[in-house]
Chain A
Amino acid sequence: DQQVKQNSPSLSVQEGRISILNCDYTNSMFDYFLWYKKYPAEGPTFLISISSIKDKNEDGRFTVFLNKSAKHLSLHIVPSQPGDSAVYFCAASAKVTDKLIFGTGTRLQVFP
């Protein structure tokens, strides 16, 4: 039972344009969401997070949007840069479990 889903396994975007990565979840108990970036043969690195009491959080080129009614969150990267090419995981957590549940990842490729 995949509680956190990233339905797009890959995304290709031109440098300078916006990258939008999507994530859906099923568990209404999730109250904190995170995005991680992962390069091959490396561990994930934290990018940005959002609490369920907010619907938007912005940090530089990265913005995360949360739509609780739709159980959907998205990560916007603008402008996209070639160095952003990596696999992006969304993760969700509920206070009652104190665990992170990861999505399956989306491979982003930013081309010149």
Chain B
Amino acid sequence: GAVVSQHPSWVICKSGTSVKIECRSLDFQATTMFWYRQFPKQSLMLMATSNEGSKATYEQGVEKDKFLINHASLTLSTLTVTSAHPEDSSFYICSASPGSPYEQYFGPGTRLTVT
């Protein structure tokens, strides 16, 4: 149980285009979903926290207009990287929680490369 999927697993896009990443909790309802990014050999950095049906809460330094997060249902959250630039290239990981933030189940991640 507690499986979280992400799609796509990797994507290459051109600079200036937008990319959407989906995060789904497959066998439980996620009241909260988290989006992280990880640069090579660095920690997972929390970008934003989203609760179903409400606006996401972004961490300091994360541009909410650039990283659009939608959490339309209890099993789906999406992250859209708008007007992507090469510096947005990173590994994006989502996690889903059925309740407590201590109980997070992570997706397999999405490798984004912006050329």
Contacts and interface: CB of A to CB of B under 8 A. Distances in A.
Interface of A: 2, 4, 9, 32, 34, 36, 41-46, 49, 89, 93, 98-105
30 contacts: A2-B43, A34-B102, A36-B106, A41-B9, A41-B109, A43-B4, A43-B95, A43-B107, A43-B109, A44-B44, A44-B93, A44-B106, A89-B43, A93-B102, A98-B101, A99-B46, A99-B49, A100-B34, A100-B46, A100-B101, A100-B102, A100-B104, A101-B46, A102-B36, A102-B45, A103-B43, A104-B41, A104-B43, A105-B41, A105-B43
B54 interface: no
Of B34, B42, B106, B108, which is in contact with the most chain A CB atoms at under 10 Å from its CB? B106
A102 B108 contact: no
Contacts of A100: 34, 46, 101-102, 104
A72 B21 CA distance: 36
Nearest to B32: A98
Nearest to A101: B46
Contacts of A44: 44, 93, 106
B7 interface: no
B32 to A, nearest CB: 9
B64 interface: no
Interface residues of B, number: 23
Nearest to A9: B41
Contact of B108 (A34, A43, A103): A43
Interface string B5-16: 010010000000
A65 to B, nearest CB: 19
B111 interface: yes
Given A41-B9, A43-B93, A102-B43, 13 more contacts: A41-B111, A42-B108, A43-B6, A43-B95, A44-B106, A46-B104, A46-B105, A49-B102, A89-B44, A100-B101, A102-B45, A104-B42, A105-B43
